[in-house]
Amino acid sequence: MAMPHLETNGRKKNDLESGEPWARLDEELGHWQAAGRTASLWWRDDDATAPGPLLERLLGITEDAGAGLLLAVIPARAEPALANGLGAHTCIAQHGYAHVNHAPRGQGLGAWELGSHRPRDQVLAELETGRERLATLFGARFVPVVVPPWNHIDPGLFSSLAERGYIGISAFGPRGAEAGRHGLNEVNAHCDPIRWKEAARFAGEAKTIGSLIDHLRARRSREFDASEPSGFLTHHRDLDPPGWAFCQHLAGVIAAHPAARWLGIREVFAGNISAAKK
Ligand SMILES: [Zn+2]
């Protein structure tokens, strides 16, 4: 005989423990509001190389929500047509050079294009080539910010990047102090809606909203640098339908909340962010 009540009880218990994810986000933003503060968020999208319906969808969602969009473009693979049809809210950053792993495999190192596995001059020369290509393709839309592929970068590159005129970097997780010491504004992403194990798919509302709330709460309590805006990271080529639905909903929730704001990209990397709701 089936005992469905056990399953039901188990599910109920979980729901009660975790709370409904969107309600918990609203609750966290309510704490910001009560404190007279505005939660700043920003949006990065990685791996862009070509125009298409998926990119158009992302451009539409972000533009409608008044969110700036930093498109991290792979220089060696970028098609010139990518420069067409980008909205005024969109800036371009440099996603490494060719998105190629140069770290030895099988040693648990993960994937690195901008690591210490090649001579530093070689890495820098490649970045320079990529930067020239993006500046040519995208003109004033290009901001000299490095988004390292797989979010891995050798801190030994920071001083050289600053000398060459880069203004910032963007990886993943709460920022450290090292890039700033070299004059680079590090503004990272903190929330990724994709679960990457095996095939890419939506990680689910509870996990995705949970990671966003974790960062917001740590900023609010000054456990992390409160001035680093919370970064939402998408990969438009890999989002599945539930992932798209999530992005659309989050875009609107932040835009509508009186104590939350999507930043423009130039604000994000100016290093002097006004938290006031426009
Ligand atoms: Zn990438």
- As a whole number of angstroms, the distance between CA 173 and CA 131 comes to 25
Is residue 9 situated within a structural domain? no
How much is the pLDDT for 7? 40
State in Å: Cα 9 to ligand 1 middle.
41
Instruction: Note the pTM of the prediction, 2 decimals.
Output: 0.91
Taking only the tens place, the pLDDT of each residue in 143-176 is 999 999 999 999 999 999 999 999 999 999 999 9
Instruction: Reply yes or no on whether the pLDDT at 6 is more than 70.
Output: no
Give the C-alpha separation, 78 to 84, whole Å.
12
Region 99-110: what's the mean pLDDT?
93
Q: pLDDT confidence of 124, banded at 50, 70, 90?
A: very high
**1 belongs to a structural domain:** no
pLDDT value of position 271: 60
Q: What are phi and psi of 145, to 5 degrees?
A: -125, 130
Report the candidate in 191, 183, 119 with the shortest Cα–Cα distance to residue 151. 191
Q: Residue 19's pLDDT is what? A: 57
pLDDT of residue 278: 38
Distance 95 CA to ligand 1 centre (A): 7
What's the pLDDT band for 9 if we cut at 50, 70, 90? Answer: very low
pLDDT (mean) for 10-19: 46
Domain CATH code at residue 49: 3.20.20.370
Q: Which residues surround ligand 1, an ion (CB under 5 A)?
A: 46-47, 149
Parent domain of 189: 36-270
Count of structural domains within the chain? 1
Within 13 Å of residue 68, how many CA atoms lie on the same side as its CB?
21
190 Cα: distance to centroid of ligand 1 (angstroms): 15
Q: Residue 170 and residue 153: Cα distance in Å, rounded? A: 10
251 part of a folded domain: yes
Residue 15 has pLDDT above 50, yes or no: no
Query: Residue 276 C-alpha to ligand 1 middle, in angstroms?
Result: 32
Ligand 1 centroid to 203 CA: how many Å? 18
In a domain, 21, yes or no: no
For residue 165, being part of any structural domain is answered with yes
What's the number of CA atoms in the CB half-sphere (13 Å) around residue 148? 26
* 132 occurs within a structural domain: yes
Contacts (Cβ under 8 Å, ≥6 apart) of 54: 236, 237, 239
- For position 184, what pLDDT does the model report? 96
Residue 174 in domain: yes
Biggest distance spanned by C-alpha atoms of the chain: 72
Instruction: Please write the tens of the pLDDT for every residue from 228-260.
Output: 999 999 999 999 999 999 999 999 999 999 999
Residue 22 located in a structural domain: no
d(CA 133, CA 242): 35
Q: Is the pLDDT of residue 200 over 90?
A: yes
